[in-house]
Amino acid sequence: MTQLHELTALQLAAAYERGDTTPAEVVDHLLARIEDGDRVGAFTTVSADRARAAAAEAGRVLRAADRSGLPRLFGVPTAVKDLEATAGVRTTLGSSQFRDWVPDHDDEIVVVMADAGLISLGKTTVPEFGAACYTEPEVAAPARSPFDPTRSAAGSSGGAAAAVGAMLVPIAQGSDTAGSVRSPASACGVVGLKPSRGLVPGGPGGDDGLGLSVKGPIARTVRDTAAFLDALTTRTGAGLVHPPRVDGADGYERACDAPVPRLRVAVAQGSVSGAPVDAEVAAAVERTGRVLAGLGHDVFARDQAPDPAFTGGFQVMFTALVGARTAALDEAALRPIVRHLRSRAQKSTAAELAAAIGVVQARARAWTLDHADADIVITPTVTAPPTRVGQLRDDTDPAAELAAMTAFTGNTVIGNATGFPTISLPLGWSSQGLPLGVSLTAGWGREDLLFGVSAALEEALPWAGRYPGRDGAHASPTTRAS
């Protein structure tokens, strides 16, 4: 018999419609799984009382006679990344300096999720200020891959991806500056979308000023990812620059069923970081290309050459963001990698940052022109299977740690620099049973195309039966806040 935690977000919405279950039953069930033990370190703070109150109210609304105006995912549980300020809920930013911070306001993305009728169970674990591609903060247990707890959930949306992969919530919110949705999606065997620049509103404090960071959905299925994006884009147009949104409140979900025209698909092996791509990861990418060729698309090979100017310029931009966020904080209390990034930012001049921005924009434009003959570009999401917890962290040599993180993330920075939508799908599996993400990139504003192709791949190479822990709970302490 299917358990409540095995249901997708859309299946839960349908179950509410039929009267098979209620938001209160689902929330209680998922909170019990979390409270009995979160062995993957998904949550830093669990807001159980608030979630139960929201579920009770959602149940009252669902029992009303007219449900016609309710959002598609009304009453579905989710979680908020711990980088997003949430009024009345502890928000640590992954930092010991914010261990006890309880904001008095909601960030824009939190408001958008609440307006969609989603019920947050709490805050998912992040590295300090989101400044690492692993999730091992001082304020919470490390986020781990549900497929092997000795392996990292990557970062910075590591807790969010772990929560979805461990079936603690069906969907979770992430954010992505240099691969922070897609790298964890790869490590945790889930779907992670970095939307087009400007599609999901960031609000007054949610944009980084350099055009790199975006909010994005994480889910176990392509259709849930699309439905969640529908919910997150109800305020499209709040930014200065934004792509056209698909028509209809469920436009991205409908794109999963829309006929996909014959496409030109480039299979691009290699990495702009210059790091070698693991053989099993490369094989997963090649297999994806063969499947799409079998579905009638024109598939061709394309090398992804190392581009040190691209990655070097991107590092300067990323360190500037970290430096700006931490400038007023106690340096001694920062994690070594954050201290290192802040120090690099403080030593860079405005002219050097401007030059780096110019280089990244030029290289992003060059990448776009190099792939102008492709509707979809397929690459490895990251260069290797999930790393072991602690493997990328090097407190004694943070410069070496930065180099290792750059090598691991590989191509993820391309999507942030171009602003193009990129989705990571769990289309490969290592000989040890670890998930291997494969990335698909489309043109700006073409999420609909990504969802159509991704849904076809999910049908051809299904992964739903691979999730672990379908009949049990998990183990590590969490903090509860009402």
pLDDT given at position 285: 98
In angstroms, the CA 394 to CA 391 distance is 8
Contact 392, 404 (CB under 8 A): yes
List active site positions. Answer: 81, 156, 180
Q: How far is CA 51 from the centre of its chain?
A: 22
pLDDT tens digits, residue range 11-64?
999 999 999 999 999 999 999 999 987 899 999 999 999 999 999 999 999 998
Position 479 scores a pLDDT of 39
What does the alpha-carbon distance between residue 392 and residue 234 come to, in Å, rounded to a whole number? 38
Residue 476 is predicted with a pLDDT of 35
DSSP-derived secondary structure for 425-457: EEEEE-TTS-EEEEEEE--TT-HHHHHHHHHHH
Looking at residue 264, what is its pLDDT?
A: 98
Per-residue model confidence (pLDDT) at position 26: 98
* Confidence (pLDDT) at 482: 36
Give the per-residue pLDDT at 234. 87
pLDDT at position 249, please? 83
Ranges of each domain in the chain: 8-480
Backbone φ, ψ for residue 16 (5° rounding): -60, -45
pTM, rounded to two decimals: 0.96
Q: Three-state SS for 121?
A: strand
Cα distances from 8 to residues 48, 97, 242, 475, in angstroms, run 21, 36, 29, 23
Helices 447-460, 279-294: axis angle to 10 degrees equals 100
pLDDT in tens, 410-427: 999 999 999 999 999 999
The tens digit of pLDDT for each residue in 187-235 reads 999 999 999 999 998 876 667 889 999 999 999 999 999 999 999 998 7
Rounded distance between C-alpha atoms, residue 249 and residue 243, angstroms:
16
Distance CA 10, CA 72 (A): 8
Q: What is the dihedral of CA 288, 284, 271, 348, to 10 degrees?
A: 100
Residue whose C-alpha is closest to residue 16's, from 79, 66, 58, 54? 58
CA–CA separation, 389 vs 406, rounded Å?
A: 17
Task: Using a pLDDT cut of 90, give the percent of the chain over it.
Answer: 89
Q: Tell me what pLDDT residue 480 has.
A: 41
Amino acid at 275: A
Q: Do the beta carbons of residue 235 and residue 200 sit within 8 Å? A: no
Say how far apart CA 282 and CA 263 lie, in whole Å.
22
Query: What pLDDT shows up at residue 474?
Result: 36
Residues forming beta bridges with residue 176, ordered by sequence position = 214
The SS3 of residue 192 is: strand
Q: For residues 61 and 255, what is the distance between their CA atoms, to the nearest angstrom?
A: 29
Residue ranges in the chain modelled with pLDDT below 70? 65, 204-206, 236-241, 469-482
For the domain spanning 8-480, the CATH number is: 3.90.1300.10
For residue 299 the two structure tokens come to 């598939």
